[in-house]
Amino acid sequence: MAPRTRTPRALAALLAPALALGATVGLAAAPAQAAVWNSCDQWGNTNLNGYTLYNNIWGSGAGSQCVWANSGTNWGVWADHPGTGGIKSYPNSKKVINKPITSIGSLSSSYDVTVPSSGAYNTSYDIWDTDYDYEIMLWVNHNGAVGPLGTPQGTATLGGHTWNVYKGNNGANEVFSFLRTSDSNSGTVNILPVLKWIKDTKGWMGNETIGDVQFGYEITSSPGGLDFRTNHLTVSGG
């Protein structure tokens, strides 16, 4: 699986609030269903029910993309990105934790999504420390020509799932990717055991302060326009 660079997305996560009124990418409309918020802006974002929604079109060669939300836990994306390589966007819903790993008593998340059968993408959690030195990705499903950064580290059964584990570095931060061994569109992930396994069992990081738990769709291509729907999402604990 081919390495990928994530540094621009990390920077986008830092810059998005300041750039929320920036350039509009394309003229695509949000879905016809009623929504309390929608945006086609490159860095469009809003806060709903304790979650932050981001359109987050951060990669080069992107097409049009619009995000809509009924709440912080029920939202979706329409994306029309060309059939070329390279990640174009990571629309997501974010919950802020801001606690060191040893101070977290519990941290889990439930998800229920509807994703297309075509295109190239993954549905994933993206978990960052507050300094953006470490990135932990949990892929619950993926489709098309996509793959994690880094080299295989074997398998691990953690948080209620069995994962293929990859470890890499993009030049700015360490990246630990956990790919579920079979695709899932709904379930619950106990995130804390994953963090403890990285810290205590493998010694790959110290007692980092976990900043953001993001959940969304890392989209490489979606030619013709595809829908990604988060029917339900909760991030609990911390």
Residue ranges of domains in the chain: 7-237
HSE-CB at 135 with a 13 A cutoff on CA atoms is 30
pLDDT tens-digit map of 191-211: 999 999 999 999 999 999 999
86 Rama sector, left if φ>0, alpha if ψ -120 to 50, beta otherwise: left
- What is the model's pLDDT at position 238? 83
* Sequence-ordered list of residues with C-beta below 8 angstroms from that of 169, at least 6 positions apart, any chain: 150, 175
CA neighbor of 179 nearest in space, from 134, 148, 216, 151: 148
The larger pLDDT score, comparing residue 21 to residue 46, is at: 46
Instruction: Report angle CA 145, 177, 91 to the nearest 5 degrees.
Output: 65
33 pLDDT tier (thresholds 50, 70, 90): low
Residue 4 pLDDT more than 60? no
Contact assessment for residue 108 and residue 193, using Cβ atoms and an 8 Å cutoff: no
Please tell me the CATH superfamily of domain 7-237, with its number: Glycoside hydrolase family 11/12, catalytic domain (2.60.120.180)
3 state SS of 3: coil
Q: For the chain, what is the mean pLDDT? A: 90
